[in-house]
Each structure stands twice: as structure tokens, then as C-alpha cells.
């Protein structure tokens, strides 16, 4: 087992990883930007090193400085968390070259599954259902039009190296496809330095269902069941549920496809296989080669620590449990708490936390970077915490989430807390009648709350 781990991240996920390391008896090294000198993860770690300036590119994306920090502190391994360098194959390879264990999959797996067109080809070979579309990168708008004529409109243009909704455009006809192709290409170059695009049939109003997996180097694979991540705004998840409400027959087919996907590349460590579900059909969309933001709801229904398993697998140990050991217990929901103002088109809301009260106990968990008087910086992602609840069933989990959102107090900045509360009280959400278009269709109604509530 490792003696010391460097966490190449910030915010709530860095805090989350540090806490697991604490009870595993592993020393931790935090990295931070000049803006994050007083951050919670810096205060909790055994050591902390500044790796650059305020901007992400100068600090949390500065591979050379991060590797140097690991070497200088004697850290044997690096946990990348999510975002930043977590799915950067070059960084994973650099760790391998420097004799540092990357707590995640091999660099080749990150590179392969990060290339969406390659991943789709591989899934087709493995017998995993994929959305009809291009067999690889589409090199021109004319080629995209030819493919769209075959599979039918609407179509979705996606950046091959993309994620988070960037480099993604929907086209409903030939004329809109031409402009969408060029716009997506330009956005992909700016966001990822790679303008490669692929094209697929656009599924209107699907559900977004994903399966968490853990795989060790001894070819042991377990799935940790599914999560429903359909409540999204602009392709960004906001609320997640586990295990969701898909029927057993569909679940069984999706589990089989998930295992096929992992076996096809001999995957190692934690990962998540994501699908779109339309009616009784499902289609692979991507595999995230990292810990997910929404991993806590899986932990809540299974009683497992996924970060702990990541660390153990990376250190060379076998999985500590079998598939038969995993039994779903109850229902869990996660709400992402963002520093933003929904009333002002969700603009970021940095600033100082003047008053803070966090609900706890009775199946309530709050993973966050917050403490009284801390400063929310304007340079990074707006997510400042994740409110997670666990109940005996979905109805109880919803009631518990409503109660927790009512009790949560964050003063000094705007948050999306009331927006989330409105969703928790929406009749269609309560019935489970939702898909990825839910927020888009109901946005006006969801914003009908008083700022002072």
C-alpha cells in the first residue's frame, strides 16, 4: 500500500480523497494555485505545495509542476480526481514514465476511450449497441451531410476529444448541418486543441443511464449498478439518482453491455459506462475513465468506498469484494450545489461565505469545499458542494432531499439551491416522468421562486 499520495485537484473532490486517505493511514499532499492558498483541501492535507498562478492552465493543468511536486515530496502515487488532468493520457503517461503510480486506468485506456470515434468502433466490435452514425472522424461538412442522409435527421455533431457539452451541435436539416459542423469544429479546437468531429443520430428526449465499474489487473470486473443522470442543463448533470427506475430486463441487458465494454479493452480501476435510453433500446455514448462527480450515490446504496477501491487497485491489490457481495440497499439522490444565479441565466457567483449551516445525520451527506468565511474563486468550476441523501425508497429520498435543501444555509453568494428545491417539488419529477429535456422544457416554471425563500 502507498505511504503518500498527491491529489492533483482542488475543491470538494480533493477533500473527499484526502478523507479516505486519512482513515487508510496514507499521508497526503495537496497542490494549490495562488488563489486557493486558504482552501479546505490545503488545510486538511499533511503537506501542500503551490504549483502555479490563479488560472487552471498555470496550476491545476501544469503537468511539469505537479510531477515535480510529487517527486519532491516523495509521493508514490497521484490521484487526479475528476476534471483537470483526470482524463489526460499525456499526464497519465508522464506519471508512468516518472515511476509515479497514476490512480486510474492505464494511459492507453484513457487515450482510447477519450477518442470518441475510436471508442464507438471498439464497442461495435464488442457487440455493444451504439447510436447510428459515422464510423470514425467526419472530415468535412459534405461528408457529414452524406451520412445524415443515410441515418436521417436530426443528427448530433460531437467533438471526438470532447466532453461537458462543448463541441456539440444539433442539426435538423442540411442547411443547419453545414453551419453546425463549422461551429462545432471551431469550438472543439478552442476547448480541446483538436477539431476532429464525429456524427450520430440525435435521440430526442432520451434518459441518460450510466453504470459504475471497478476492474483490477487480475481481470476481475464488478459493476456497481446504475445511476440515472437525466436531469441536466445544457448537457451538464445537475441531479443524479441511484439505482434509478429502469426495469430488470433492461437493466440485465445494459449490465451485459457494460461488462463487454470493459473486457474489450481489459480496463483497470474505476470507470463509468454511459448510455442513452430510448424506450426499450439503449446506446453506448462514452466511457469516463475516472471517478465521477456522482459516485457518492452509488456508495450510499452499496456501502462501498469507491475511492478506497481505486487506491487499492492502483497499489496492485485484487478487488476486495465479488459481484455477489453487492446488494442494493434503498435509494439515493445527489444535488449539485453551484455558486451561480439561476435568475440571471445561471451566471457564476463568486464571493465570501458569510454564513454556513450544513444539514447532517439520518442519511444526509454533504461533500463540499465550504467553511465559514471561505472565498469562492471566480477562476474554476462553479460547483461548491454535493448534497446527497439516502432513503428506503425514491419517495423517502425525495422528501429527505427537500428537507435537507430547506435546512442548508449558504449566505454571501448566490446558489442554485432554490432551483433544485423547485425540481424536488415538480409533479413530473415526483412521478419519475422526466428525461434529458426536463429542465429545458420546464425552465420558466422552475424559476418561479422568491429570491428570499
Are 349 and 387 in a shared domain? yes
Domain assignment present for residue 152? The answer is yes
> Tens digit of pLDDT for each residue in 389-425?
999 999 999 999 999 999 999 999 999 999 999 999 9
Q: Which three cell numbers stand for residue 381?
A: 468550476
pLDDT of residue 273: 98
Beta strands (DSSP E) in 296-354 are: 331-338, 340-341, 347-348, 351-352
Q: What is the value of pTM for the model shown? A: 0.90
pLDDT above 90 coverage of the chain, percent = 89
Domain assignment present for residue 177? The answer is yes
Domain assignment present for residue 111? The answer is no
Domain assignment present for residue 160? The answer is yes
Are 293 and 323 in a shared domain? yes
Separation of alpha carbons 311 and 334, rounded Å? 24
Are 221 and 240 in a shared domain? yes
Provide the CATH number for the domain around residue 44.
3.40.50.20
Report which of 307, 332, 335 is spatially closest to residue 237, judged by C-alpha positions.
335
Given pLDDT bands bounded at 50, 70 and 90, which one contains residue 135?
confident
> Tens digit of pLDDT for each residue in 303-348?
999 999 999 999 999 999 999 999 999 999 999 999 999 999 999 9
Are 359 and 302 in a shared domain? yes
Separation of alpha carbons 278 and 296, rounded Å? 26
Q: Quick check: bond before 154 cis, omega within 30?
A: yes
Q: Which helix (H) or strand (E) holds 277?
A: strand 269-278
> Tens digit of pLDDT for each residue in 261-307?
999 999 999 999 999 999 999 999 999 999 999 999 999 999 999 99
Provide the CATH number for the domain around residue 174.
3.30.1490.20
Are 398 and 342 in a shared domain? yes
The domain boundary, picked from 159, 182, 201, lies at 201
Are 251 and 307 in a shared domain? yes
The domain boundary, picked from 147, 171, 201, lies at 201
pLDDT of residue 235: 87
Are 166 and 70 in a shared domain? no
Q: Is the torsion defined by CA of 226, 229, 230, 235 positive or negative? A: negative
Residues forming the active site: 290
> Tens digit of pLDDT for each residue in 214-266?
999 999 999 999 999 999 998 899 999 999 999 999 999 999 999 999 999 99
* Mean pLDDT value of segment 124-143: 91
Are 160 and 217 in a shared domain? no
More confident residue, 322 or 189: 322
- Residue 451, pLDDT > 80, answer no
Separation of alpha carbons 367 and 302, rounded Å? 18
> Tens digit of pLDDT for each residue in 49-106?
999 999 999 999 999 999 999 999 999 999 999 999 999 999 999 999 999 999 999 9
Q: Which domain holds residue 188?
A: 132-201
Given pLDDT bands bounded at 50, 70 and 90, which one contains residue 189?
confident
Are 292 and 173 in a shared domain? no
- Residue 163, pLDDT > 70, answer no
The total number of structural domains that make up the chain: 3
* Mean pLDDT value of segment 182-194: 86
Domain assignment present for residue 453? The answer is no
Are 371 and 258 in a shared domain? yes
DSSP string, 16-46: HHHHHHHHHT-EEEEEEEGGGTT-HHHHHSS
Provide the CATH number for the domain around residue 377.
3.30.470.20
Domain assignment present for residue 121? The answer is no
Domain assignment present for residue 119? The answer is no
The domain boundary, picked from 201, 228, 252, lies at 201
Q: Which three cell numbers stand for residue 427?
A: 409533479
Are 250 and 294 in a shared domain? yes
Separation of alpha carbons 202 and 151, rounded Å? 10
- Residue 162, pLDDT > 80, answer no
Are 421 and 330 in a shared domain? yes
What's the CA angle centered on 345, arms 344 and 351, to 5 degrees? 55
pLDDT of residue 230: 98
Residue pair 336/293 in contact (Cβ under 8 Å)? The answer is yes
* Mean pLDDT value of segment 176-185: 92
Report which of 240, 236, 239 is spatially closest to residue 227, judged by C-alpha positions.
240
CA count, 13 A, side-chain hemisphere, 346: 18
* Bridge partners (DSSP) listed for residue 240: 334
pLDDT of residue 161: 76
Domain assignment present for residue 451? The answer is no
Separation of alpha carbons 200 and 225, rounded Å? 27
Residue pair 21/43 in contact (Cβ under 8 Å)? The answer is no
Amino acid at each position: 500500500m502507498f505511504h503518500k499520495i498527491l491529489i492533483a485537484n482542488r475543491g470538494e473532490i480533493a477533500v473527499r480523497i484526502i478523507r479516505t486517505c486519512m482513515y487508510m493511514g496514507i499521508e497526503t499532499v495537496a497542490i494549490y494555485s495562488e488563489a486557493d492558498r486558504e482552501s479546505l483541501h490545503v488545510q486538511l492535507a499533511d503537506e501542500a505545495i503551490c504549483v502555479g498562478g490563479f488560472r487552471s492552465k498555470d496550476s491545476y493543468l501544469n503537468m511539469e509542476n505537479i510531477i515535480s511536486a510529487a517527486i519532491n515530496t516523495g509521493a508514490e502515487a497521484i490521484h487526479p480526481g475528476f476534471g483537470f488532468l483526470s482524463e489526460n493520457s499525456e499526464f497519465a503517461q508522464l506519471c508512468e514514465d516518472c515511476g509515479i503510480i497514476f490512480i486510474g486506468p492505464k494511459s492507453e485506456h484513457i487515450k482510447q476511450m477519450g477518442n470518441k470515434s475510436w471508442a464507438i468502433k471498439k464497442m461495435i466490435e464488442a457487440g455493444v449497441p451504439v447510436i447510428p452514425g459515422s464510423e470514425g472522424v467526419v472530415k468535412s461538412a459534405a461528408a457529414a451531410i452524406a451520412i445524415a442522409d443515410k441515418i436521417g435527421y436530426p443528427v448530433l455533431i460531437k467533438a471526438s476529444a470532447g466532453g461537458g457539452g462543448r463541441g456539440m451541435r444539433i442539426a435538423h436539416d442540411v442547411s443547419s448541418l453545414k453551419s453546425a459542423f463549422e461551429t462545432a469544429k471551431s469550438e472543439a479546437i478552442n476547448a480541446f486543441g483538436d477539431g476532429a468531429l464525429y456524427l450520430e443520430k440525435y435521440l430526442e428526449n432520451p434518459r441518460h443511464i450510466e453504470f459504475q465499474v471497478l476492474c483490477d489487473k487480475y481481470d476481475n470486473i464488478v459493476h456497481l449498478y446504475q445511476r440515472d443522470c437525466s436531469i441536466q442543463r445544457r448537457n451538464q448533470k445537475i441531479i443524479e439518482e441511484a439505482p434509478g427506475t429502469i426495469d430488470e430486463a433492461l437493466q440485465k441487458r445494459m449490465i451485459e453491455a457494460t461488462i463487454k465494454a470493459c473486457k474489450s479493452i481489459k480496463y483497470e480501476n474505476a470507470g463509468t459506462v454511459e448510455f442513452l435510453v430510448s424506450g426499450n433500446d439503449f446506446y453506448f455514448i462514452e466511457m469516463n475513465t475516472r471517478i465521477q462527480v456522482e459516485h457518492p450515490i452509488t456508495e450510499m446504496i452499496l456501502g462501498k468506498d469507491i475511492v478506497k477501491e481505486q487506491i487499492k487497485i492502483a497499489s496492485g491489490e485484487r478487488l476486495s469484494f465479488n459481484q455477489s457481495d453487492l446488494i442494493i440497499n434503498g435509494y439515493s439522490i445527489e444535488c449539485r450545489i453551484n455558486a451561480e444565479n439561476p435568475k440571471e441565466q445561471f451566471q457564476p457567483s463568486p464571493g465570501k461565505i458569510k454564513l454556513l449551516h450544513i444539514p447532517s445525520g439520518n442519511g444526509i451527506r454533504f461533500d463540499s469545499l465550504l467553511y465559514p468565511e471561505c472565498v469562492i474563486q471566480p477562476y474554476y468550476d462553479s460547483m461548491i458542494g454535493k448534497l446527497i441523501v439516502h432513503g428506503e425508497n425514491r419517495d423517502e429520498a425525495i422528501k429527505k432531499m427537500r428537507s435537507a435543501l430547506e435546512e442548508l444555509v449558504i449566505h454571501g453568494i448566490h446558489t442554485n439551491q432554490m432551483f433544485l428545491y423547485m425540481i424536488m417539488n415538480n409533479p413530473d419529477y415526483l412521478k419519475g416522468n422526466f428525461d434529458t429535456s426536463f429542465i429545458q422544457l420546464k425552465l420558466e416554471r422552475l424559476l418561479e421562486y422568491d429570491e428570499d425563500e
